[in-house]
Structure 1
Amino acid sequence: MIKLVAFDVDGTLRDRDYLPESTRASLRKLKEQGIALALCTGRSEYEMESLREELGIDWAITCNGSHIGYRGKTVFGNAFPKDTVRLWLQEAEKQKHTFLLYGSEKMFMTRAEDPHFRQGQQEIGFMEPVALQSIDEVPDIYQCIVFCEEHEEGIYTGEEKGRYYIHRWRPWAVDINPTGMNKAVGLRKLMDHLGIRPEEAAAFGDGHNDFEMIELVGSGIAMGNAVDDLKAKARYVTRSLKEDGIAYAVDKWIITSAS
Structure 2
Amino acid sequence: MVHAEAAAMIRIVFFDVDGTLMTDKQIPDSARQAISLLKEHAIIPVLATGRPEYEMHAVREQLGIDWAVTCNGAHVGRHGQTVTGTPFAKEQIREWVRLAQTTPGHTLLLYGGQNIYSTRAIADCPHFTAADREIGFLEPLPFEQAETLPEIYQCILFAPQEEEAPYTAHLQEQLYLHRWRTSALDLNPLGVNKATGVQKLLDHLNIPVEQAAAFGDGNNDLEMIGHVGLGIAMGNSTPELLAVAKQVTRHVREDGILHGVQQFILNRSCSLRT
Partner SS, residue 173 of structure 2: helix
Partner SS, residue 39 of structure 2: helix
C-alpha displacement of 1:105: 1.1
Paired residues of 2:25 and 2:135 also in contact (CA < 8 A): no
Paired residues of 1:157 and 1:163 also in contact (CA < 8 A): no
Given candidates 80, 100, 106, the residue that maps to 2:115 is: 106
Give the 5 Å matches for 1:4-153.
Answer: 4-96=12-104, 97-112=106-121, 113-153=124-164
The amino acid of 1:74's aligned partner reads T
The amino acid of 2:172's aligned partner reads K
Partner SS, residue 5 of structure 1: strand
Equivalent residue number for residue 251 of structure 1: 262
The amino acid of 1:110's aligned partner reads T
* Alignment deviations for residues 87-108 of structure 1 (CA, whole Å, 9 cap, x no partner): 1111222222210000111111
Equivalent residue number for residue 3 of structure 2: none
* Alignment deviations for residues 72-127 of structure 1 (CA, whole Å, 9 cap, x no partner): 11000111011110011112222222100001111111023111111111111111
The amino acid of 1:121's aligned partner reads D
The amino acid of 2:63's aligned partner reads L
Partner SS, residue 11 of structure 1: coil
The amino acid of 2:85's aligned partner reads G
| In 2: Cα distance, 1:160 partner to 1:106 partner | 26
Equivalent residue number for residue 182 of structure 1: 193
The amino acid of 1:52's aligned partner reads R
Paired residues of 2:88 and 2:152 also in contact (CA < 8 A): yes
Given candidates 201, 205, 211, the residue that maps to 1:194 is: 205
Partner SS, residue 127 of structure 1: coil
| In 1: Cα distance, 2:65 partner to 2:192 partner | 23
| In 2: Cα distance, 1:252 partner to 1:7 partner | 16
Partner SS, residue 47 of structure 1: helix
Structure 1 stretches of 4+ moved >6 Å: none
Q: Does 1:167 align with 2:178?
A: yes
| In 1: Cα distance, 2:25 partner to 2:148 partner | 34
The amino acid of 1:201's aligned partner reads A
Paired residues of 2:53 and 2:68 also in contact (CA < 8 A): yes
| In 2: Cα distance, 1:135 partner to 1:61 partner | 25
* Alignment deviations for residues 57-78 of structure 1 (CA, whole Å, 9 cap, x no partner): 0000000000000011100011
- The answer for unaligned runs of 5 or more in structure 2 is 1-8
Partner SS, residue 162 of structure 1: coil
* Alignment deviations for residues 174-231 of structure 1 (CA, whole Å, 9 cap, x no partner): 0001121000000011011111111101000000100000000111000001111101
Q: Does 1:209 align with 2:210?
A: no
What is the RMSD computed on CA atoms of the aligned residues?
A: 1.1
| In 2: Cα distance, 1:158 partner to 1:231 partner | 30
Equivalent residue number for residue 4 of structure 2: none
The amino acid of 2:83's aligned partner reads V
Q: TM-score, normalised by structure 1?
A: 0.97
C-alpha displacement of 1:160: 4.6
The amino acid of 1:28's aligned partner reads S
Paired residues of 1:231 and 1:237 also in contact (CA < 8 A): yes
The amino acid of 2:225's aligned partner reads I
